[in-house]
Amino acid sequence: MDNHLFNPAGPLGFPKAEVADHPADPAHAYPEYLESGELEKKGYHVEEIGSGSGFYWVTNSFYDAAFLRTGQGVIAIDAPPNLGEFMLSAIEEVTDEPVTHVVYSHWHSDHIGAAAMYGPDVKIISHQITHDLLKRWPDPLRPLPTETFTDEATLDVGGVKLELSYKGENHCPGNIFIYAPQQKALTAIDIVSPGWSVFFHCDASENITGWIDAHDQILDYDFDVIVGGHQTRYGTRADVLAHREYVHDIVDYSWEVLREEVGSELMVEAGPRKRWTWAENQFNYMANQVTHRTLTKETSTGQKWTERLGGASNMTKYHAWTIMESIRLHRTHDDYQRRDGKSAYIW
Ligand SMILES: [Zn+2]
């Protein structure tokens, strides 16, 4: 697409990413089913995680969800509208059991916005906060949960168990951990996208400190596989460890840059009555420092992040901006302004 068509706002808009500036995503971000033509033919890919486990992963390579066959009905986890009724196709492909229970991971429409397709008779389980948010902003396509919990709950259908846990706000208030102990399968949505740098601004998370901590909360589970909500793959502990390392690199460089007196000439450059021109340059300049340091770092495997995580060359600058700002807002300001003028610069 022509640059002007892409960005008629010119210097007031976002520039176009040039394809040649970005390396190809690592091969491991593109599993075999993507090459087989299955998605083009069926619209989805479904996979039982562990033979006979009854835990299934469903994806269209952008969104994923999961379900459990219990012998007494299916427990569906989420209903991404982007996957939509292909979720039903996936369930029907492997079992005749009806969907009897639905677990909402969190209230976001892009993960449960097709939940009405499960029909009016299913039990819907979520965190109380998810219920309250859906009650506040009603959506007929996201029916209200019929059962809620606040800290921990166990769903047991025909002896098949799901342990639900809320550890506080992360990606959004009410986002829960959904653990299948018999299958050692954890569903934790919008924290880690296995094999990838997550989507813009830490997956548009609302509490970035909580979102960062959620990586450790995931690792506290004894899991073999993780369903993350996106996109081409389910993951393993190694994927969570990799993304945790990536995020912590951004955290560390954010601290580093916030403590440097960087770009002070930008205020002079902007001159009077252009305060937000200064601020835009100042904060983007600092985010660029964080991005550069993160992407040029030799990581624990000896590789660069662009070799380890799909999309890192595109998304790191958005995460850097968001993480740096969250650190500025959430963490200590140990160098606040002193009256003797001896305070170090801090944003
Ligand atoms: Zn979400």
pLDDT digit string (tens) for 116-134?
A: 999 999 999 999 999 999 9
CA distance 239 to 243: 6
CA distance 56 to 38: 17
pLDDT exceeds cutoff 80 at 95: yes
pLDDT band at 318 (very low <50, low <70, confident <90, very high): very high
The per-residue pLDDT for 345 is 59
Section 7-30 average pLDDT: 96
Section 315-336 average pLDDT: 92
The per-residue pLDDT for 336 is 80
Cα 272 to ligand 1 centroid, rounded to whole Å: 40
The per-residue pLDDT for 334 is 75
What angle is formed at CA 169 by the lines to CA 58 and CA 174, rounded to 5 degrees? 55
Calculate what percentage of the chain has a pLDDT beyond 70: 99
SS (H, E, C) the chain: CCHHHHCCCHHHCCCCCCHHHCCCCCHHHCCHHHCCCHHHHHCCEEEECCCCCCEEEEECCCCEEEEEECCCCEEEECCCCCCCCHHHHHHHHHCCCCEEEEECCCCCHHHHCCHHHHCCCCEEEEEHHHHHHHHHCCCCCCCCCCEEECCEEEEEECCEEEEEECCCCCCCCCCCEEEECCCCEEEECCCCCCCECCCHHHHHCCCHHHHHHHHHHHHCCCCCEEECCCCCCCECHHHHHHHHHHHHHHHHHHHHHHCCCCCCHHHHHHCCCCHHHHHHHHHHHHHHHHHHHHHHCCCCCCCCHHHHCECHHHHHHHHHHHHHHHHHHHCCCCCCCCCCCCCCCCC
pLDDT exceeds cutoff 70 at 198: yes
Calculate what percentage of the chain has a pLDDT beyond 90: 91
Section 265-289 average pLDDT: 94
pLDDT exceeds cutoff 80 at 181: yes
The per-residue pLDDT for 180 is 98
pLDDT band at 344 (very low <50, low <70, confident <90, very high): low
- Identify the architecture of domain 32-235 in CATH: 4-Layer Sandwich (3.60)
What mean pLDDT, rounded, does the chain reach?
96
Section 248-265 average pLDDT: 90
Cα 329 to ligand 1 centroid, rounded to whole Å: 22
CA distance 221 to 216: 9
Section 214-232 average pLDDT: 98
Cα 229 to ligand 1 centroid, rounded to whole Å: 9
Cα 111 to ligand 1 centroid, rounded to whole Å: 7
List CB-based neighbours of ion ligand 1 within 5 Å. Answer: 108, 190
Section 157-186 average pLDDT: 98
Section 185-214 average pLDDT: 98
Section 131-158 average pLDDT: 98
Cα 345 to ligand 1 centroid, rounded to whole Å: 36
Cα 106 to ligand 1 centroid, rounded to whole Å: 7
The per-residue pLDDT for 346 is 62
Section 151-170 average pLDDT: 98
Cα 215 to ligand 1 centroid, rounded to whole Å: 15
8 Å CB contact between 237 and 219? yes
CA distance 282 to 265: 9
What angle is formed at CA 63 by the lines to CA 151 and CA 5, rounded to 5 degrees? 125
CA distance 305 to 294: 8
Cα 116 to ligand 1 centroid, rounded to whole Å: 18
Section 44-59 average pLDDT: 96
pTM, 2 dp: 0.96
The per-residue pLDDT for 237 is 98
pLDDT exceeds cutoff 90 at 50: no
CA distance 231 to 311: 12
pLDDT exceeds cutoff 80 at 65: yes
Domain limits, the chain: 32-235, 250-330
pLDDT exceeds cutoff 90 at 264: no
The per-residue pLDDT for 254 is 96
